[in-house]
Amino acid sequence: MPQDFRDPNTAREWDADTSYYNPMRPEQLEMLLALAAAEYQPGQTILDLGLGSGQVEALLFERIPGAQVVGVDASAAMLEIARERLQPYAAQYSTLLHDLTQIDTLTLPARDYGIVISIQTLHHLDDAQMQRAYAFIHRTLRPGGLFLLLDRIAVEYASLFGCYQTLWAQQDAQRGSHVGTQEGATFAEHQAKNRDRADIPLGLARHLELLRAAGFEAACLHLYTHRALFAGRKSQLLTPAEFEANCLAQRSEKVLE
C-alpha cells in the first residue's frame, strides 16, 4: 500500500518526526531559509509547491517576519495540520488544494512571485510532469526570481548502492537516524521501498537538464548522498542598453586577450 499523505494518520505520523529518516533535513532547510531570507523583497510572495503540514512556513515566518506565502498541496489532512500550526500567521499565507501532477490546471492568486520553493514533494512527479512543473515555475516567477528545490534525488546505479550505504551507516551512527533502514538493504529493496512511498525521483543531472531547458540558470548548491538542494535563477530580461553594454564589455575583454 503506497504512502498516502491524504490519510490523516499518515499525515500526523510524518509530521511527528521528519528527521528520523532524513537527518540532513534541518541543515538543508537552514540553507534554504538563509537563501530565501537573502532574496526576499517586501511586497513579493513566496510560492511553496507542497506546503504540507506547514513546518517550513513556521520557520520561514520566524526568519522573514513580513513574508507572504501561497502554498499548494494535494492533501487536506496535511493542510489541516498546517492550519493548526500556522494560526499566529494566518494573515500571511493562503493555501490551494491541488494535485501538482496536474500543474497546468493550477490557477494561482495574482501576486508578484519572487521566490518559489518546493521541499520533499516534487519527487512524486514523473519526468514529463516535472518538465511541466519547471515550465510552470519559470512562468510564475518574476524575471530575476529564484527557485529553490530541496528534495530526494535518485540513486541511479546498483553498482554504487554500497557507497550510499556506507555513508548512510556513518550518518546513522553519528546522528542516531535510521536512513539505512528507510532506504533498504539492497538496490532492489531500495527500488521497492521507493515504489511503496510512491517516490519516483529524478537523477541529479536530469534535474539540471530540465531546469536549464525550462529557462533557468541552475546549480546544485548542496548534496548529501540522495538529498539535494538546487537553485534556479530566472534570468533578468535585459534592457537594450544593458544588452549593448554587455556586448561592449565582452568585445573589450576579447581585445585585451
Ligand X SMILES: C[S@@+](CC[C@H](N)C(=O)[O-])C[C@H]1O[C@@H](n2cnc3c(N)ncnc32)[C@H](O)[C@@H]1O
Distance of CA 205 to CAs 24, 28, 50, 154, 208, Å? 21, 20, 23, 10, 5
Q: Which is nearer to ligand X, 29 or 211 (CB)?
A: 29
CB of 228 to ligand X, least distance (A): 14
Cα distance between residue 135 and residue 123, in whole Å:
16
Q: How far is the CB of 155 from ligand X (least distance, A)?
A: 18
- Residue 169 CA to residue 187 CA, distance in Å, equals 15
As beta bridge partners, residue 218 has 232
Closest chain position to ligand X (CB) = 52
Least distance from ligand X to the Cβ atom of residue 57, Å = 9
Shortest reach from residue 135's CB to ligand X, in Å? 16
Q: How far apart are CA 168 and CA 225, in angstroms?
A: 8
Cα 178 to Cα 163: distance, rounded to the nearest angstrom: 16
Q: Which residues pair with 111 in a beta bridge?
A: none
Nearest distance from C-beta of residue 66 to ligand X, angstroms: 21
**Residue 181 cell numbers, joined:** 533502514
Nearer to ligand X, 98 or 212 (CB): 98
Nearest to ligand X of 195, 251 (CB atom): 195
For ligand X, which is the closer residue by CB, 107 or 159? 107
* Residue number, 83 or 212, with CB nearest to ligand X: 83
Q: Which residues, including other chains, have CB under 8 Å from residue 86's CB and lie 6 or more apart? A: 54, 57, 58, 61, 93
Min CB(107)–ligand X separation in Å: 15
Residues that bind ligand X (CB under 6 A): 5, 14, 50, 52-53, 55-56, 73-75, 78, 99-101, 119-121, 124
> For residues 151 and 222, is the Cβ–Cβ distance under 8 A?
no
Which residue number, 78 or 155, has a Cβ lying nearer to ligand X? 78
CA-to-CA distance for 102 and 111, rounded, in angstroms?
Answer: 21
Helix, coil or strand: residue 151: strand
- The least CB distance from residue 54 to ligand X, in Å, is 7
Strands (E), the chain: 45-49, 68-73, 93-97, 113-119, 141-152, 216-224, 227-234
Smaller CB separation from ligand X, 80 or 212: 80
